[in-house]
Amino acid sequence: MPAQYTEEEVKKAREVLFNEGIKMRYQVAGKEYVDTSLKNAKGSFAMAMQEYVTESCWGSIWTRPGLELKTRSFLNIVMLCCQNRGTELATHVKGAMTNGATEDEIREVLLQAACYCGMPAGIEGFRVAAQAIEEWKAKQVNDGHAIDPHTDVDLSARLNADDV
């Protein structure tokens, strides 16, 4: 027989998922973006969707172990590109950059998506992603977080005996 929970226990479970979800949303999409989304959800009708997204997507799925956040971002980029959901795609491209994805990785993910979901969706995905990447970079500069790209040094150069 399924477990029986009180209304208060269910409410508490939803509260935990919402709280964990909002933390994850802030981490990936940014506090400013999330707070604007919540503020724009005027009334209980629209707020119900924000609560659902926060609890289900961000609180229940994004917080699960098993996949790195960057991998979750790549999955969302592909699905949103295939669905031609430009607004959400832009959000998740920026989130992928925050999660450590590179432009090269995002390009390859979108090429893979275009191959399987069609060129029109892929072309639009590239348009949206290019703009999102530029916006993300500009925000990093404006926020004082811009860093020079990492240049890898091979092992032999790191272990130069003259430098020891």
Each residue's pLDDT tens digit, 45-100:
999 999 999 999 999 999 999 999 999 999 999 999 999 999 999 999 999 999 99
- Residue where the block lists tokens 């009334």: 43
**Band of the pLDDT at 145, cuts 50, 70, 90?**
confident
| Residue 38, both tokens | 């919540």
Cβ count near 158 (within 10 Å): 9
| Predicted local confidence at residue 152, as pLDDT | 61
- 35-60 burial code (b ≥16 CB/10 A, e <16): eebeeebeeeeeeeebbeebbebbbe
CA dihedral 27, 20, 65, 29 (to 10 degrees): -20
161 DSSP assignment: G
pLDDT at 107 over 60: yes
> What angle in degrees, to the nearest 10, is found between the helix axes of 86-98 and 119-142?
50
CB-based contact 106:73 (threshold 8 Å) = no
Strands in 5-65 per DSSP E: none
pTM over 0.95: no
pLDDT at 30 over 90: yes
**Band of the pLDDT at 1, cuts 50, 70, 90?**
confident
Cβ count near 148 (within 10 Å): 5
